Amino acid sequence: TVELRTDLYFYRRNDATPNLIQNRILRNFLGTFEGNGHSLVGLRISHDGSDDPYYGFFHGLGVGAVVRNLNIVDFLGDGIAAILCGANEGTVSNVKIQGKIINSTSAGGISYANKGTITGCVAAMEFSGTEFATMAYYNQGTVTANHSVLSVIQVWDEREGGTSDMPANTLI
């Protein structure tokens, strides 16, 4: 079990410039990540150019994994799949994300590929790429009681019942 007891800032000391993290942070997480309402602030992740599409704070959440009561604020992902996790087979609940994904061909806010449960989450996001969904780009699991605010930077296609061919800078 991982339990946050304070907010974590990914900025350099005495500087508002965030550190850039190449590759994924946590590979295949199988435990419980209890955020206790705390935030990860200023996290930046960029894709390393490999064929692996599952980029996010977590590479994957395995069966039985739980992430809850966590805020991810002021996030920037460059060419990645999702803000929270590339693949989810566990349970994500009460997670709030605020950030931007740029230069991505396909992306999801909470998860790129979901076979688990996403519930009670909030996503306030900006996207730049070709296709996206605020909760899960590919969904074969359960997605319930979530809320999204989406700002489109370019013309997009949105999956799973959203609006397609939206004009630039549309707020949903």
Please state whether 97 falls in left (phi above 0), alpha (psi between -120 and 50) or beta.
beta
User: 106 Cβ partners below 8 Å, 6+ apart?
Assistant: 53, 81, 112, 129, 130, 131, 132, 137
Q: Write the pLDDT tens digit of every residue in 37-91.
A: 999 998 888 776 777 667 788 889 999 999 999 999 998 888 777 889 989 999 9
d(CA 70, CA 47): 23
User: What are phi and psi for residue 13, nearest 5 degrees?
Assistant: -60, 135
d(CA 92, CA 95): 7
pTM above 0.75? yes
> Would you state the pLDDT for residue 109?
87
Read off the pLDDT band of 156 (50, 70, 90): very low
User: 97 Cβ partners below 8 Å, 6+ apart?
Assistant: 71, 72, 75, 83, 84, 109, 110, 121, 122, 123, 124, 125
Q: Which of 105-109, 130-134, 154-158 has the lowest mean pLDDT?
A: 154-158
Residue predicted with more confidence, 158 or 116: 116
Percent of the chain having pLDDT more than 90? 36
Residue predicted with more confidence, 158 or 66: 66
Residue predicted with more confidence, 19 or 67: 67
> Would you state the pLDDT for residue 131?
77
Q: Which residues pair with 127 in a beta bridge?
A: 101, 152
User: What are phi and psi for residue 68, nearest 5 degrees?
Assistant: -150, 155
User: 55 Cβ partners below 8 Å, 6+ apart?
Assistant: 23, 24, 45, 47, 77, 79, 80, 81, 82, 86, 112
d(CA 5, CA 108): 28
CB 131 within 8 A of CB 157: yes
Residue predicted with more confidence, 9 or 115: 115
* DSSP-based helix, strand, coil % in the chain, nearest 5: 0, 55, 45
Residue predicted with more confidence, 27 or 144: 144
